[in-house]
Amino acid sequence: MFDKLGRDITYLRISLTDKCNLRCRYCMPAEGVCRRSHHEMMNEDEIVTAVEAAASLGIRKVRLTGGEPLVKKNIVSICRRVAAVEGIREVCLTTNGILLPQLGTQLREAGVKRLNLSLDTLNPQKYAYITRIGKLEQFHRGLEAALEAGFEKVKINAVLIGGFNDDEIKTLANLTMMYPVDMRFIELMPIQDHDEFGEGAYVPYSRVLEQLPEAIAVPPDGGVAKLYRLPGAKGNIGLISPISAHFCGECNRIRLTADGKLKPCLHAPDEFSLKGLDFEGMKAVFEQAIRNKPAWHGDLDAVNRSRAGRNMNEIGG
Ligand code: SAM
Ligand code: SF4
């Protein structure tokens, strides 16, 4: 379905849960995550009905995210049912990777085609710091499980944070020399509760290219990342710039939160509730939300913070 600015909305991102087995500093608070009760959250049948309603309006790709989607007990069943919805061509998943050794093969068999993993640093102390509770070796085991499970594509996302990991750009980019993965750098976004990052933390993606002079531009793959490749690499370097060069004009996505709110824009306060509705009711709300998708997310920086009204774990990054 086209929004009122003529953008064809074909991509639905679903946050399956606010909960997470990590506590990344830019994403969620250290404590106080479970503010909503179980009956306020979308159950498995409602999630599947929402995808059916979305598919009937032209959604073709679904990304399952969170919070951490793999902490959902019924994650494999959700993936299988969403992948089977008529019209859905691709189910992808974004995860911190910690639970992939247990779940990777099952997820692949359930129909998940592509996987995005999150990793901001290759330094164990820094990983423990940024995730508050994570251990880097768990990520490495998850990456190995992802590669063994045979997903069509594995990408690794790093949030670029000035003063934290901008000295590791080369090291992170070198993962594309070692593994058949894309390494993507994403600009830090100023969301809700995190205010421990000062102005210097918000660095533009051009900082990456300055440190990778040998990187060669390659054609885009249909996504929002600008792509480059190191000579001899097995995967691409991707640069995602929601702030310094926003892609709102080509935005084809809409988001669903774990408590059933459709968000036509990640950084806008507008929300449209699906909770408790049947297929026809959900379809009508999808139409309303898509029609009302904002033109762009407005200025974002350390001063002009996101108007999302939620932390990233509650929206689905
Ligand atoms: N737990 C999963 C994970 O970490 O991959 C999925 C959910 S997480 C919210 C999805 C992505 O959002 C992660 O790659 C994370 O780094 C990114 N993210 C979270 N907060 C962000 C922020 N303030 N700015 C930019 N990216 C952010
Ligand atoms: Fe959890 Fe992902 Fe947020 Fe980190 S970025 S706290 S892993 S939801």
Instruction: Check pLDDT > 80 for residue 4.
Output: yes
Percent above pLDDT 90 for the chain? 74
Please say whether the beta carbons of 24 and 131 come within 8 A: yes
What pLDDT shows up at residue 146?
Answer: 98
Which among 15, 20, 24 is the best mutation to test ligand 1's pocket, defined by most ligand atoms within 8 Å of the CB?
A: 24
User: For residue 306, which ligand has an atom nearest its CA?
Assistant: 1
Give the model's pLDDT for residue 272: 93
Pairwise pLDDT comparison (189 vs 144), residue with the higher score: 144
For ligand 1, is residue 131 a contact (CB within 6 Å)? no
Residue 160 lies in a domain: yes
Most confident of 35-49, 51-65, 265-279, 301-315: 51-65
Q: Is the pLDDT of residue 215 over 80?
A: yes
Q: How many domains does the chain have?
A: 1
The DSSP code for 193 is: T
pLDDT score at 298: 62
Classified as helix, coil or strand, 170 is helix
Q: Considering the domain boundaries, does residue 161 fall inside one?
A: yes
Q: What are phi and psi of 120, to 5 degrees?
A: -100, -15
Residue 268 within any structural domain of the chain = yes
CATH number of the structural domain spanning residue 178 = 3.20.20.70
Q: What is the pLDDT of residue 315?
A: 79
pLDDT digits (tens, 9 = 90+) for 10-28: 999 999 999 999 999 999 9
Q: Ligand 1, from 116, 312, 313, 314: best to mutate by most atoms within 8 Å of Cβ?
A: 312
Q: Where are the beta strands (DSSP E) in 74-231?
A: 90-95, 112-118, 153-160, 182-187, 216-218, 226-229
3-class secondary-structure state, position 216: strand
**5 in a domain, yes or no?**
no
Question: Is residue 100 a part of any domain in this protein?
Answer: yes
Whole-number pLDDT of residue 199:
84
Closest ligand 2 atom, residue 94 Cα: 2
When pLDDT is averaged across residues 146-173 and rounded to a whole number, the result is: 97
Check pocket membership of 15 for ligand 1, CB cut-off 6 A: no
Q: What is the pLDDT of residue 300?
A: 58
For residue 79, the model assigns a pLDDT of 98
Task: Kindly give the distance from the C-alpha atom of residue 219 to the centroid of ligand 2, in angstroms, as a whole number.
Answer: 30
Q: In residues, how long is the chain?
A: 317
Q: What are the E-state strand segments in the chain?
A: 11-15, 61-65, 90-95, 112-118, 153-160, 182-187, 216-218, 226-229, 237-240, 253-256, 261-263, 272-273
Percentage of residues of the chain with pLDDT beyond 70 = 92
* Relative orientation angle of helices 124-131 and 136-149, to the nearest 10 degrees: 90
Q: Does 6 map to a domain?
A: no
Domain that holds residue 136: 11-315
**Res 159 pLDDT > 90:** yes
Integer Rg of the chain from CA: 18
Q: 5 or 87: which carries more pLDDT confidence?
A: 87
- Residue 75, domain member (yes or no): yes
pLDDT greater than 70 at residue 75: yes
Cβ 281 vs Cβ 165: under 8 Å:
no
Nearest Cα to Cα of residue 50 among 263, 250, 312, 252: 263
**Three-state secondary structure call for residue 270:** coil
Predicted pLDDT at 190 = 83
Residue-level pLDDT at 292: 87
> What's the CA gap between 20 and 70, in Å, rounded?
9
Is 159 a pocket residue for ligand 1 (Cβ < 6 Å)?
Answer: yes
C-alpha 258: how far from chain center: 14
Residue 173 lies in a domain: yes
Round to the nearest angstrom and report the end-to-end CA distance of the chain.
Answer: 23
Contact 213, 316 (CB under 8 A): no
CB under 6 Å to ligand 2: residues? 20, 22-24, 27-28, 66-68, 96, 118, 312-313
Q: What is the mean pLDDT of residues 107-114?
A: 98
Q: Are 27 and 312 in contact (CB under 8 A)?
A: yes
Q: Is the CB of 257 under 6 A from ligand 1?
A: no
Burial of 40 (0-12, 13-18, 19+ CB in 10 A): exposed
The closest-lying atom of ligand 1 relative to the alpha carbon of residue 315 is 9
Check residue 69 and give its pLDDT: 98
Give me the helices (H) in 229-304, please. 279-291
Place 316 in a pLDDT band, splitting at 50, 70 and 90: confident
Checking if the pLDDT of 232 tops 90, the result is yes
Res 193: pLDDT: 63
